Amino acid sequence: MIKYYLVSIYVLRDIIKRIVFFKLSFLKPPQKKILVYDKKSTDQAAILFKKKNFTFFYSRSQGLNIYVVILNILKNGFKNFALNYKKLYFEIVNPKVIYTSIDNSLAFYKLKKDCYHDAIYISDQNGMRDNLFHFEAKKYLNHNKNSVLSCDIFFVLGDNEKKKLKNVIKANYYLYGSTKNNFYVNKKKKNQIKNLVFFSNKPIINFSRDLILFKNAIKFCKKYNYKLFFIDRLKKRYFLYLKKHFDISNFTYISPKNSSDTYKFFTEENLSIFNHSSLGYEFISRGLKGLSFGHNSNFIHHERNKAKYAKEGIFWTDKIDYENFERKILTIINYDFIKWRSNTLKYSQELMCYDKSNLKKKKIINNFINSKK
């Protein structure tokens, strides 16, 4: 029941946000070196590029530029309106780079062939994906035999994602992890674990499983005198649901206002626990200690993977009863930090790489730009 209620809230909130934040612009778009495709790519774009060098194209019904609308009607009428609107907008901006962090947008991968050729297209994966986008891309290519889905640079989280996508998206693939995770660097180092940090799952995935795991976490922290933090998803508030099920005095609830509020918990004194969360894997990619209880979900595997990970490994287990929860947490707490980093590195390459300060990403982008001069 909770699941369907939360889905309804999600849908309703999304509709309201689209209406309230729909942006109308009447001015001619400025010429810029970087065109950011989709306003929700702002945070990642601001990390990789100087703000003065980029402007936006509002996709997914986020907004319209009336200047371009009128010019488009005068030049092309209403035939192929959406495509011609994009072409005209891009021609006016005249960018060297078109960037998005909405890596599961099928429309983005059509742009290079169908819309605007004179730019470097960059897709920057911002989270772990299930198979839906892969199936959507495959279906599109099967029904459009002469079509190509492509970009010039595709930054993916790890090798698993590359293997999944390379057969549907033509691109140069680079395994450099999450731009946000790479950006927020914590210097604070303490080898002793003091806190358990629970990263919230999307409740529409498996909220009931999260409740069981969080109950176990509370019991464990009481028994062994650890502090427990519940880190909510960015700008979300699931506090009321937690309050219905738990005594709120047993944990500290954190509702991050920005990414910095979340990433400040990425320190050695914390041990992360999660069912399925990109943040959890980002945490482990830094060599920090964490435990996943949803590692063999469809967010980790795709149709072409014949062999799944074992039911239990160095930082994961599929058992959620308290006895196994306690055993696994204590094992990880007592694991030597140096050995932990060494033994989790292989999996980080597969799942979530780490490019501190995005140095490799920026170098690849600059190399491509320079090669076009």
Q: For 226-334, list the strands marked E by DSSP.
A: 227-231, 252-254, 270-274, 290-292, 312-313, 316-317
Asked whether the predicted pLDDT for residue 204 surpasses 50, the reply is no
Q: How far is CA 200 from CA 84, 88, 156, 273, in A?
A: 41, 42, 23, 9
Cα separation, 341 vs 332, in Å, equals 12
- In this structure, what token pair is assigned to residue 234? 């960015």
Residue scoring higher pLDDT (285 or 244): 285
Residue scoring higher pLDDT (331 or 24): 331
As a dihedral over the C-alpha atoms of residue 332, residue 333, residue 338, residue 344, rounded to 10 degrees, the angle is 30
Q: Is 349 exposed, middle or buried (0-12, 13-18, 19+ CB in 10 A)?
A: middle
* Least confident window among 141-150, 292-301, 336-345: 292-301
Cα separation, 182 vs 266, in Å, equals 11
pTM of structure: 0.90
Domains of the chain: 16-177+357-371 (3.40.50), 195-354 (3.40.50.2000)
Cα separation, 287 vs 222, in Å, equals 26
Count the neighbouring beta carbons within 10 Å of the beta carbon of residue 338.
10
User: What is the pLDDT averaged over residues 39-54?
Assistant: 95
* Least confident window among 106-115, 118-127, 145-154, 183-192: 183-192
Report the candidate in 289, 250, 243 with the shortest Cα–Cα distance to residue 266: 289
Cα separation, 365 vs 303, in Å, equals 31
- Name the band, by pLDDT with cuts 50, 70 and 90, for residue 300: low
For residue 155, the one-letter residue type is F
Angle of CA points 183, 266, 188, to nearest 5°: 90
- In this structure, what token pair is assigned to residue 77? 């009428």
Report the candidate in 58, 159, 37 with the shortest Cα–Cα distance to residue 103: 37
- In this structure, what token pair is assigned to residue 254? 């954190």
User: What is the pLDDT averaged over residues 68-89?
Assistant: 94
Q: How far is CA 241 from CA 141, 194, 238, 246, 260, in A?
A: 42, 26, 6, 9, 24
- Estimate the crossing angle of helix 278-285 against helix 337-351, to 10 degrees: 130
